[in-house]
Structure 1
Amino acid sequence: MDGNMRQQHMFRREILGKSVSTICGFFLIILTVAIGCFLLAKGMLTFTDFHHSIGEFLFSSAWKPSDTDAGGGQVGAAIFIWGSILTCFLALVIAIPFSLSTAVFMTQISPRLGEKLIRPAVEIFVGIPSVVYGWVGLVVLVPFLQKLFKLPHGQSVLAAAIVLSVMIYPTITSVSADAIRSVNKKYIEGAYGLGSTRWQMIYKVLLPAALPGILTAIVLGLARAFGEALAVSMVIGKMKSFPKSILDPTNSLTAAIASDMGGAMDGGELNAALWTMALLLFIISLLFILMIHLIAARKESLA
């Protein structure tokens, strides 16, 4: 009798757990869809109510939207789009070598030191608020670049990229380290059995085998970089012009939204254009998620 009651109790707890998990899962799906629909409704006002074209928004550099509901301004966001792309990919170029080197050191060169010292140090970077990165970049990095390159100002694409590279470094490092750890030990033993040195094993066997996971780490870091607003806006210069070099200031999508959204009139053309930028960032985030799933599916097919 006691056994039957215990089984019924466990069954009820299992049903309760499944129900709560299912409800939470559906809630997250509904919330994501609701956010997407809201951004779509707001972002499409630029094209439906103010009659601008998608081509103008994506490829024109003329940014003079009207802050009224009458419209008639220009909503070319090409400068902001190019600024985001340039700073984010330059940040990847800076961060990837450091991240992969740290991940290899943590997992292959000195695993004990990596687990006890380096991994906790890397994880500390994740918890630092973005405003701290931006403030340090503004008071330390910007004057340093200004003095080093003899610039009239230190705020630039390079400053934003360096700050972003530090911010995405822990993400790429942690995920890459997990990908390297998940490589089948037989590959490593086979490489050593064929006479490979440790470095030959790392760059000819280990890194290629972990490549899908490393690519996932890079995409996650890129998504993190595209979504950062505050730190970038503090060091990028917020100039509405295409940069001629990485030492010139420019602007980005997130920095433009953060700077102008608070003062934009609700229902005005400027407000609608900023919502369109937010919609574009949402679409980019979805594309990054799709890329991660495709990389994961390819990894499973190769396994």
Structure 2
Amino acid sequence: MNLPATDIRTAPAEKAPKRQRHIAEEFRGKFYVYFCVLLMIVIIFSIVYFIASRGLAPFIANGVSVKEMLFGLKWNPEGDPAAFGALPFLFGSFATSLLAAVIAAPLGFCASVFMTEIMPKFGKTLLQPAIELLAGIPSVVYGFVGLSVIVPFLRDTFPGQGIGILAGALVLSVMILPTITTIATDALRSLPSGLKEGSYALGATRWQTISRIILPTTLPSLLTGVVLGIARAFGEALAVQMVIGNAPHIPHSLFESATTLTSIITLEMGNTTSGSLHNNALWSLALILLLMTFVFVFVVRVLERRVKR
């Protein structure tokens, strides 16, 4: 049946405005996305440039030795002569972060195996939300709990005052546990079911399948979670500051007071004048933190490439 002449004439005219609207919407969407990406790039480079320009000032303008800052043991920027040894802070940051990862990694791996291989329904409905809830607790709460529970326990059980490297590592281990557990759980759930079925078909038990097939196959992804957890612990300030003691020296045991890069920055930054040598030296510590973050990101990228292979 032929359409009326009026319908034939108006059909193309009605499609044209719709096509124009679609083109306009697509243009606005692309513009918004590209604008957000460009804004993120500008913000990132601006932050890096600002920290680098302030952090390099002591070495360029004031003649501070890089070797002294990285390997010196005394920190006294306002002394006569001034000392800029940041090795105790570096030691405290690495000691607490690595020890926290050593404590949290087995717990996170075991929890992820339990949620994916042993009791997946219970883990998915109750255990995983409970673990992920830990990520939303403010760091000051972790520090207060550590100061009220962990420090008295260590003081009554071991020699010392309770504050120190071990107290900070225990607090950080709980803080990074959700990161390690979540990434490990996602890695185990994304594993092809054919690997497990083939292992069972060959007569392997569930534990043999977990220990010899599942964990070795997902090891790069598991290590990615550990590295991200270390990066999270390395940049934490307030919770560690409340339980580590903030003593600027290298401790000889896990029960002695120490300090970290983030702790010394937060403690002294407010008491310095912008542009002074002391202030710029603290920015140098911030630059070291930034460089360590780049190192952690690089390690994560390397591990991700191994997973894709």
TM-score band by shorter chain is over 0.9
Q: TM-score, normalised by structure 1?
A: 0.95
Give unmatched runs, 5+ long, in structure 1: none
Structure 1 residue 286 displacement after superposition = 1.1
Question: RMSD in angstroms over aligned alpha carbons?
Answer: 1.3
Q: Match for residue 196 of structure 1?
A: 204
Q: How does 1:54-93 map to 2 (within 5 A)?
A: 54-66=66-78, 72-93=81-102
Percent identity, aligned pairs only, is 42
What residue ranges of structure 2 are gaps of 5+ in the alignment? 1-11
For each residue in 1:215-258, what CA deviation from the matched residue of structure 2 results, as whole angstroms up to 9, or x when unmatched?
11111101100110000000000011111011111110001101
Residue 205 to residue 7, structure 1, CA distance change in 2 (3 Å): farther
d(CA) in 2 for partners of 1:29 and 1:201?
A: 44
Letter in 2 for 1:229: A
Q: 1:8 to 1:208 in 2, by over 3 A?
A: farther
Question: Which shows bigger deviation, 92-101 or 262-271?
Answer: 262-271
In the TM superposition, 1:1-303 aligns within 5 A as 1=12, 2-66=14-78, 72-151=81-160, 153-300=161-308, 302=309
Tell me how far apart the structure 2 counterparts of residues 245 and 183 of structure 1 sit (CA, whole Å).
41
Contact 1:73–1:269 (CA under 8 A) maintained in structure 2: no
- Structure 1 residues 4 and 188 mapped into 2: Cα distance closer, same or farther (>3 Å)? farther
Report the TM-score when normalising by structure 2: 0.93
Q: CA deviation at 1:131?
A: 0.2
Letter in 1 for 2:173: S
Runs of 4+ in structure 1 displaced over 6 angstroms? none
Q: Deviations over 1:60-101 (max 9, x none)?
A: 11111018xxx8411010000011001100001100010001
Is the Cα–Cα contact under 8 Å of residues 138 and 234 in structure 1 kept in the other structure?
Answer: yes
Report if the CA contact (8 A) 1:46-1:272 is conserved.
Answer: yes
Q: Deviations along 1:18-37, whole A, 9 cap, x unmatched?
A: 22111111111111111000
Distance 1:10 1:296 in 2: 38
Whole-angstrom distance in 1 between the partners of 2:306 and 2:90: 30
TM superposition shift of 1:212: 1.7
The structural deviation recorded for 1:9 is 2.5
CA distance in 1, matches of 2:24, 2:220: 41
Matched letter for residue 34 of structure 1: S
**Deviation at 1:297?**
1.7
**Letter in structure 1 aligned against 2:110:** S
- Preserved CA contact (<8 Å) 2:159 2:255: no
CA contact (8 A) 1:81 1:253 kept: yes
CA distance in structure 1 between the partners assigned to 2:207 and 2:30 by the alignment:
48
Specify the SS of the correspondent of 2:273. Answer: coil
Q: Deviations over 1:81-126 (max 9, x none)?
A: 0110011000011000100011111111111101110111011101
Whether the 8 Å contact between 1:164 and 1:232 is mirrored in structure 2 is yes
